[in-house]
Amino acid sequence: MEFSAEQIAGIILGEIEGNPEVKVNGLAKIEEGSEGKLSFLSNPKYEEHIYKTGSSICIVNNSFVPSKALPDTLTLIKVEDAYSCFAQLLEFYDQMRRKEPAIEQPSYIAQTATVGEELYLGAFGYIGENAKIGNNVKIYPHVYIGDNVTIGDNTILYSGVKIYHDTEIGKDCILHAGVVVGSDGFGFAPDESGNYKKIPQIGNVIIEDDVEIGANCTIDRATMGSTIIRKGVKLDNLVQIAHNVEVGESTVMAAQVGVAGSAKIGKYVMIGGQAGIAGHLSIADKTKIVAQSGIPSTVKKEETLMGSPGIPMDDFKKSYFGFRKLPYILKKLQELENNMKSLIKE
């Protein structure tokens, strides 16, 4: 689909400098622009790229004044905030790509299930008994939705998502490809002979509104009760949430974070990639955990933690400075020991 500079300026309330009829059919970074592409310039650090970009249209701040000649083929659209306006267009572009309501075949909807208006159900999709699907839900091909699952309005489930029975998912959520919600928690108990016997996992998972879950994340059902992902949580790809965990409102986790069973993560917590959270602990609101850190015990107040076990970041940096000097210290210690031996011999 093509849009003219005039149409784009109308959407973002911008002022055109150049050809209002020039058209674009895609988006590109300014340094990678080509004919028919729309770019933006917000950070002055990248200004040099605008003088050689191949893009047809570029969104710039009202304050932008060229310091040299712009390409003849480039049309500018000036706005108050180029970054936010480009983000607005990205959202508009994303909406344009979303599926129109349809039920593709082959697919299956149980007779006892209820589905809302404007449903898109892709081929090989499955909706189980007594499931309740809200309005304007998008379910891409090869998605499995188990019995008694509830999904709120405007939620998107991308291809390959698996939702086990009794799961509750709120409104305006996005689950990317390969997400598994509600699989059994890791619950086993050794018997008298030392073999492990499975403990039935009879709880569920509750995901509140406006949650986004990255590709191939796994969220385990509770042993009893619920594993809970609160409103506004954002999980990157390959995050593991164990049974009976509670993740507080607007907390974010980068890729490959692992949270062990029954941990309670506070609100507005930020967790870097590959961090590990031990089970049965609590983490205070607004805590920040640096990538690859390990948290073995409860965090009682807001702070930034680093290392394994995680300690306050400033303390970690001081400790690491000492650790890096250990080879030098050991060398000096060996020299001192040799000198003492020589003195004793004399």
- Annotated catalytic residue, options 142, 176, 243, 280: 243
Place 9 in a pLDDT band, splitting at 50, 70 and 90.
Answer: very high
On whether the CB atoms of residues 269 and 288 are closer than 8 A, the answer is yes
How many beta carbons lie within 10 A of that of residue 344, not counting itself?
A: 7
Q: Which residues lie closer than 8 Å to 281 by C-beta, 6 or more apart? A: 263, 264, 295, 296, 297, 298, 299
Percent of the chain at pLDDT above 70? 100
| pTM across the whole model | 0.84
Coil vs helix vs strand at 75: strand
pLDDT at 314: 85
Confidence band for 346, pLDDT divided at 50, 70 and 90: low
Predicted confidence at residue 284, as pLDDT, reads 98
- In the chain, the amino acid numbered 211 is V
| pLDDT of the residue at 332 | 87
Scored b (16 or more CB within 10 A) or e, 90-118 reads eeeeeeeeeeeeeeeeebebeeebebeee
Q: Rounded distance, CA 242 to CA 255, Å?
A: 15
Three-class DSSP labels, 211-238: CEECCCCEEECCCCCEEEECCCCEECCC
Say which residue the tokens 């790509």 belong to. 97
pLDDT digits (tens, 9 = 90+) for 45-71: 999 999 999 999 999 999 999 999 999
Share of the chain above pLDDT 90, in %: 84
Each residue's pLDDT tens digit, 138-190: 999 999 999 999 999 999 999 999 999 999 999 999 999 999 999 999 999 99
Whether 155 and 171 have beta carbons less than 8 Å apart is answered as yes
What does the alpha-carbon distance between residue 1 and residue 41 come to, in Å, rounded to a whole number?
23
Token pair recorded at residue 240:
């593991």
Q: Is 243 a catalytic residue?
A: yes
